[in-house]
A and B are shown apart, each in its own frame.
Chain A
């Protein structure tokens, strides 16, 4: 147990201090790395057209570039709030977005293409009136389809839209041209493109309105890159790179089931050491859960003692009131929302490690449930115990510490264990702040292989295994505690 703690602490610390660097000023770029060839995760790094262009610009302007991954619909908010300096994620210039951020000159003209299954009858845009259309949430494809065709099905990222299309959940996918081409090439046997694009649009980088100076400098560098032909060569390089990779990832058509499964396993987990996404994600998940549980128990303990003391003795009224507000707010709102608020609002302006943010958010969340569990435990102890302690001349707090709490904690241990298990699974929403936990690790693999099934199964199995192990350990612990009675 001690080694485990040491290991976890080490993991946490290396996460916190691992990202210190040189003393050049930092330029923080945010992106959503599921959009080949513009941005994608390669190894442990985010690569693609956007990172490459921004890196050239940052170098020319004397910045050290830091790239952060987050959900696409959070990008605008991130530059608006000053969390990030520049959002580069194949973002289309629209009138709505212009109201919120500054756009640089465009660096690419892109089209929204329509992908359908090879055997589907659709030929033109007009055929789609009755079709179920899948889009990536918050993209211009989403906006366009919503406005001009019909309410679409919105998925978190492009590979999920393709998975939905392949699985028959949607009839057509509207995607940016680059990724659309890559997808279709990979699944040439199953998918095809409609020849006419839905719309065409300009991509540009987004910069916060408070930072017009940066806009001017970035535009200057963009113009230089265009003139030097560097922009075109970057774009060409990544298009070709992705096309080659896509060919390699294709799991071929007419082979036996076993061979097919073996190939899928290889592509999803072995190739490019993709299992590392799961392993590293697993470590992050365990680390976040472990420290969040500790924090939750600490908070819950204090809150429960304050609440019970106020109930039983009438002291600590103000603290009790604060605790009630805390409990009401935390239990009345979803954990994801709390996580986002803590990340974007509370830690909005400061640069803290995402693992710490997640630990704090889930710890605070869990504390509310733990508090009520422990308070229930305290209330369930016979009043005679406190009376006996006090009649012996022990103080209220001595009796609480030495008599009531040990019994209460023992009674609620199964419930606390359950809370830990719930929390473990709850952390799977960490991806919302682009923390690469286990679930997100699976997402990244899916975004590279376009296989919805195996990565999801693997992630599910890992959660299941951890939960079963925890349940088992809890059972042993309970049995051991029961022995002293």
Chain B
């Protein structure tokens, strides 16, 4: 079996009285493509955001490659190894597309400006947006923005990429291009954790599916086990509605 990246034990997250995560435990290994699905408000985003400590857990432990990160002090060093793609892209509107991509590698010391620029060109070439390198985010379509956001995260050469509903804010005709890029990443062997409502896509590319309900993991297994043949009526009913 491949190396363990995330080891999550009894993770609890409470927001002023609301328990968003209730003793969640799971393991994510290198090369896995884990999809997190479930009803709205079940804690999917919270779990994902705890993985790179954008949310600080109120209980339990998260270790990354064998090291407890919830007590780590220099969080940015840890976050450099974990990329994240947001529902609303969160590109930096004050910077060009090219600068959006090179900013973090240069400022964190991961690459020289020249290396970062070459890598950004290569990534933009790959997603066919090299012609937009000097444009600003506001000049791009939603699908283009999300693909730039993905390669911006890739430019840091992360160990794992987290996606929080990457296609939910897109017009339907743009969903395909983003899913296409994600599929390419799967083929390249990228470790990915994806929160999505695109169940068909999950069934197609996931190596594992986690079903969340009321802040707990209700099922954790292969797409077949969770999406198609779950023994739990509540889960079967959920998928029959969305598929």
User: In the complex, A407 Cα to B156 Cα: how many Å?
Assistant: 23
| Known A393-B79, A393-B80, A484-B136; contact A388-B107, beta-carbon cutoff 8 A | no
Question: A256-274, CB under 8 A of B: which get 1 and which 0?
Answer: 0000000000000000000
**Is there an interface contact between A394 and B90, defined as CB atoms closer than 8 Å?**
no
User: In the complex, A393 Cα to B54 Cα: how many Å?
Assistant: 11
Chain A contributes a number of interface residues (CB within 8 A of B) equal to: 20
Which of B76, B81, B84, B94 gathers the greatest number of chain A CB atoms within 10 Å? Answer: B94
Contact surface of B with A, Cβ cutoff 8 Å = 52, 54, 75-77, 79-84, 86, 88, 90-95, 103-104, 107-108, 136, 138, 149, 152-153, 156, 162
In A374-430, which residues have CB < 8 Å from any B CB? 382, 384-385, 387-395, 398, 402-403, 406-407, 410
User: In the complex, A394 Cα to B152 Cα: how many Å?
Assistant: 13
User: In the complex, A385 Cα to B156 Cα: how many Å?
Assistant: 17
**Is there an interface contact between B156 and A485, defined as CB atoms closer than 8 Å?**
no
| Known A403-B94, A406-B94; contact A394-B136, beta-carbon cutoff 8 A | no
User: In the complex, A391 Cα to B95 Cα: how many Å?
Assistant: 17
Closest to B92 in A: A403
**Is there an interface contact between A407 and B93, defined as CB atoms closer than 8 Å?**
yes
User: In the complex, A393 Cα to B107 Cα: how many Å?
Assistant: 9
**Is there an interface contact between A410 and B86, defined as CB atoms closer than 8 Å?**
no
**Is there an interface contact between B76 and A395, defined as CB atoms closer than 8 Å?**
yes
Closest to A484 in B: B136
**Is there an interface contact between B94 and A410, defined as CB atoms closer than 8 Å?**
yes
**Is there an interface contact between B156 and A393, defined as CB atoms closer than 8 Å?**
yes
**Is there an interface contact between A391 and B83, defined as CB atoms closer than 8 Å?**
yes
User: In the complex, A382 Cα to B169 Cα: how many Å?
Assistant: 16
Closest to B91 in A: A388
Contact surface of A with B, Cβ cutoff 8 Å = 382, 384-385, 387-395, 398, 402-403, 406-407, 410, 484-485
**Is there an interface contact between A394 and B93, defined as CB atoms closer than 8 Å?**
no
User: In the complex, A389 Cα to B152 Cα: how many Å?
Assistant: 11
| Known A384-B90, A385-B90, A410-B94; contact A394-B107, beta-carbon cutoff 8 A | yes
**Is there an interface contact between A384 and B76, defined as CB atoms closer than 8 Å?**
no
Output the least CB separation between A374 and chain B (Å): 16
Output the least CB separation between A314 and chain B (Å): 11
| Known A384-B86, A402-B107; contact A392-B79, beta-carbon cutoff 8 A | yes
| Known A391-B52, A392-B153, A393-B104; contact A407-B86, beta-carbon cutoff 8 A | no
Which of A390, A392, A403, A406 gathers the greatest number of chain B CB atoms within 10 Å? Answer: A392
**Is there an interface contact between B79 and A390, defined as CB atoms closer than 8 Å?**
yes
User: In the complex, A395 Cα to B76 Cα: how many Å?
Assistant: 6
**Is there an interface contact between A387 and B54, defined as CB atoms closer than 8 Å?**
yes
Top-6 shortest CB links A-B: A393-B80, A388-B90, A392-B104, A391-B84, A384-B90, A393-B79
**Is there an interface contact between A393 and B77, defined as CB atoms closer than 8 Å?**
yes
User: In the complex, A289 Cα to B19 Cα: how many Å?
Assistant: 54
Output the least CB separation between A408 and chain B (Å): 10
| Known A384-B90, A407-B93; contact A391-B54, beta-carbon cutoff 8 A | yes
Closest to A384 in B: B90
Query: What residues of chain B lie closer than 8 Å to A406, measured between beta carbons?
Result: 94
User: In the complex, A390 Cα to B88 Cα: how many Å?
Assistant: 16
Q: Which of B92, B94, B138 is the one whose CB lies under 8 Å from A388?
A: B92
**Is there an interface contact between A390 and B92, defined as CB atoms closer than 8 Å?**
no
User: In the complex, A395 Cα to B90 Cα: how many Å?
Assistant: 16
Query: What residues of chain B lie closer than 8 Å to A388, measured between beta carbons?
Result: 84, 86, 90-92, 149
User: In the complex, A392 Cα to B52 Cα: how many Å?
Assistant: 10
Which of B82, B84, B93 gathers the greatest number of chain A CB atoms within 10 Å? Answer: B93
Query: What residues of chain A lie closer than 8 Å to B162, measured between beta carbons?
Result: 391
Closest to B52 in A: A391
Closest to B53 in A: A390
Apart from A390-B54, A391-B82, A392-B153, 9 more pairs, CB < 8 Å: A384-B90, A389-B92, A390-B75, A391-B54, A392-B79, A392-B156, A393-B104, A403-B94, A485-B93
User: In the complex, A151 Cα to B79 Cα: how many Å?
Assistant: 73
Closest to B74 in A: A395
Output the least CB separation between B131 and chain A (Å): 18
User: In the complex, A373 Cα to B91 Cα: how many Å?
Assistant: 24
**Is there an interface contact between B92 and A385, defined as CB atoms closer than 8 Å?**
yes
**Is there an interface contact between A394 and B104, defined as CB atoms closer than 8 Å?**
yes
Output the least CB separation between A388 and chain B (Å): 4
Query: What residues of chain B lie closer than 8 Å to A485, measured between beta carbons?
Result: 93, 136, 138
Query: What residues of chain B lie closer than 8 Å to A402, measured between beta carbons?
Result: 103, 107
Query: What residues of chain A lie closer than 8 Å to B136, measured between beta carbons?
Result: 484-485
User: In the complex, A398 Cα to B91 Cα: how many Å?
Assistant: 16
User: In the complex, A385 Cα to B95 Cα: how many Å?
Assistant: 12
Closest to B104 in A: A392
Query: What residues of chain B lie closer than 8 Å to A390, measured between beta carbons?
Result: 54, 75-76, 79
Query: What residues of chain A lie closer than 8 Å to B104, measured between beta carbons?
Result: 389, 392-394
Closest to B96 in A: A484
Query: What residues of chain A lie closer than 8 Å to B108, measured between beta carbons?
Result: 392-394
Which of A384, A388, A393, A406 gathers the greatest number of chain B CB atoms within 10 Å? Answer: A393
**Is there an interface contact between B107 and A398, defined as CB atoms closer than 8 Å?**
yes
**Is there an interface contact between B103 and A387, defined as CB atoms closer than 8 Å?**
no
What are 21 A-B contacts with C-beta separation under 8 Å? A384-B88, A385-B92, A387-B86, A387-B90, A388-B84, A388-B91, A390-B76, A391-B54, A391-B86, A391-B162, A392-B153, A393-B104, A393-B156, A394-B76, A394-B103, A394-B104, A394-B107, A403-B94, A403-B95, A407-B93, A484-B94
Output the least CB separation between A366 and chain B (Å): 25
